[in-house]
Amino acid sequence: MTSRRMPVDRDPVEPGPDRPLTILVDGEPVAGTVGQTIAGVLLAAGRREWRTTSAGGAPRGVFCGIGVCFDCLVDVNGLRDVRACLRRARDGDVVVRQGEPEVVA
Ligand code: FES
């Protein structure tokens, strides 16, 4: 199987020029492009994990990428438990990583 490359001028989707956006992640500006999900912005910025599990504090980021696993949860503009893989980033979004407190048995 070979990869297929299509010249931009023949792409039926007719993508326009990239439009930049900036989100704040734990107070740090992260650059992205309009149309990316929050997970897409984070991954493009080289971040692979942004949450920790309640049991053991294991790092999590994108696992399924389609809204099924809930591994990618973040707080967005004060709203908790937003799936970063589904939520399109908007310029100025304030994203806070989630870290669950350790569960004591
Ligand atoms: S990566 Fe699975 S729900 Fe977002």
More confident residue, 3 or 40: 40
Contact 69, 22 (CB under 8 A): no
pLDDT at 100: 59
Atom of ligand 1 nearest to the CA of 73: 4
Give ligand 1 pocket residues (Cβ under 6 A). Answer: 62-65, 67-72, 83, 85
pLDDT at 11 over 70: yes
pLDDT of residue 27: 95
Structural domain span for residue 85? 19-99
Count of domains for the chain:
1
What is the arithmetic mean of pLDDT over 27-51?
96
5-41 as b/e, with b when 16 or more CB fall inside 10 Å? eeeeeeeeeeeeeeeebebebeeeebebeeebbbbbb
Question: How confident is residue 15, by pLDDT bands cut at 50, 70 and 90?
Answer: confident
Q: Is residue 4 part of a domain?
A: no
Ligand 1, residue 72: give the atom nearest the CA.
4
58 occurs within a structural domain: yes
Establish if 49 belongs to a structural domain. yes
Phi and psi of 94, rounded to 5°? -105, 110
Going by C-alpha positions, the residue among 10, 12, 23 that lies closest to residue 77 is: 23
CATH code of the domain containing 54? 3.10.20.440
Residue 59 lies in a domain: yes
